[in-house]
Structure 1
Amino acid sequence: MEHQGGARPERARTPAEFVALLRQVKEASGLTYRQLELRAAERGDLLPRSTVAGALSRSALPKAELVEALVRACEGEERVGAWLAARDRVASGEAAPPPAPDPAAGPAPVAAAPTPAWKRPRALTLAAGVIAVVALAAVGASALNASDEPSDPAPSRSAKAVSVPSGVVRVQPLRAAGLCLTDGRDRKGRYGSHIAVFRPCGEAVPPTTELEPLGGGVYRVRWRHPEHGPGCLAAPAKGAAKGFLEPWDDCAAAARLSVEQRGEAYVLRLEDGRCVGVNGAAVEGAEAVLGRCGGADAQRFLIRRGARP
């Protein structure tokens, strides 16, 4: 059967673009990493969810075996040959042929630009920053704007110290305890670098998450990744990542957070008065966003010791 629409591997020019197209295939399948692993096993393939999650979060060209198993699980056997041929072409550095217009398929998907290191702070160019800020404005608007609920007051200076689990922890939305804070991409695919998102806890490591105490009830979120190394979550003041949390290797520039207890849950408040929340519904891939503290459940988290449930 001829493949209609969807990701077209022949368009890939670089490893980063090839991986971006593979991510489209995974998202279009509607399958979680665990479901992909089980479906691949039914077809006699090995597709560990941690391996495919790591491969899709990087810009390096995945191994042919992983590409074959992933495409077979998502799109079927008939699509494997096209993807492997595209992978071999990208690996050899051969230029992509200009695709023939396909009116029935609609506009061609926009491939992601080569992705910078997930932990590297950087200055965005004016053009890229303006385009991405406009595109991302709608994504975070509901979470970043003022809430209809009463404002959550800032803690008093005499507030009792909060006991926060030490070492590796899981930061989980109060109403979606099966999700954990980890790295990922914005769901609109408009920003080329990694940001903090929520994914099923079984797929959220690496990186590991730690709340590193800085004294005076202030913490920073430190991530450790076997490939990217250590980094800390920063709150960029401008550019395409404004309103999100982004991993940087410069931990001196990390967001400084107070951790306040609200019953069984915690509120993570920045020094500028904003609070960490979940962008929209607490579902797989939802972004961690910064907004006015409103006392909503979307801004309350469970913090539990250990990397996995």
Structure 2
Amino acid sequence: MSGPFSVPPQPDGVTTAAEFVAALGRLRQWSGLTYRQLTAAAKASGDVLPPSTIAGALGRTTLPREEFVAAFVRACGLGEAETARWVAHRKRLAAGMAPPADPHDAAAGPDRPPVPPEQPGPDGRPDQADRFEPGRLDGREQTGPPNSAGPRDPTEPRDAAVPRDPAGPGADAVRPQTRALRRFVIAGAVVLVLLLATGTVLSQLRVSWAGGRARPSAFPTATTGSGLTPPSAAPAAGSGRTPPDGWYHIVPSHVADRDLCIGEGRERNRRTDRPLAVQRSCRDIVPDTYVQSVGGGAYEIQWHHPKEGVGCLTVDEALRGPDVLIAPENCSGAAHQRFLLEPAGAGFALRPLHSGLCLGALYGEPDVTPGAELAQESCTGRRDQVFLFRPAPAPTWTPR
């Protein structure tokens, strides 16, 4: 099982550059995001990660740049600790590999030192094989035919093919002086195709993977004061993206590497002693959490306790503003006990039906300590407002 319902792939056991690239590919599959959705997720985190760069990096067998690895892993929805783990593994592989690290460098021969960046390479052109730049195919100049720009993301719409040069591949040998002109023409054609395809791509980002039903992109642009699309644009239940009814550990993505889940706790300021939804250790967590669809893309999040019975997570007093705590109450079917699950990053935003705001850590993404209260807040798209749903075994004491 892949996606926000399973444990993400790890670089452990990877010993070669090719295996590392393959592991990055598995991480992308786990995230369930297309190349363009990864680009949007990276932008939301302050990174630059063009789709062409992703395609190029995942189509190689040499190590991608460290900056790419960090931006890519974050875009897939992992936290800073797991990102650092991937980057550290990449550094270990790089330290254990003798140069050249790229086929372009290998052309220099075994006794020739690597060509420094921005200096002429063996063919008289700047050798920029490992530069990480927006808009380039994994930071390197394309050397194949115009339509060989790396693997196409199978989850994305097919772009129109770039016309081949009618002179054929042998034209470089006959007329080397035309090479620069051909590159200019090809680059112009690519830009034209991308401009024409922009409208189609933007519309396709809002099409459900299950086929045809519209839904917001993983990191939608702000259409309300909340920073996310309105609740009416949330995906319908059963679209193939939302979780089936069942037992789960609900994990805030900003503490996924700290083994913290949503469970019962108390206010840290001791103002009250009532049960609240907080971040706490996933081990032996209580109560047990059951997620149940109630139709229209909305869900109840039920807490099942062997002594206290069943309660539903509820926005305190049905308040509609931010900084409102979440507590279990008797299930009544009220709107402030129901949540839309909106795909976001590698998981879901939880949006109370009555307010359209988002659930997240009371003090935002920096609030990573055990005991941090869950609260209704203005939507920010930050990782504390993105939740992973990891299947959990049914408790032995319940008939479910």
By percentage of residues, which structure has more strand?
1
Structure index of larger Rg: 2
Greater RCO (Cα-Cα under 8 Å, separation 6 or more) = 1
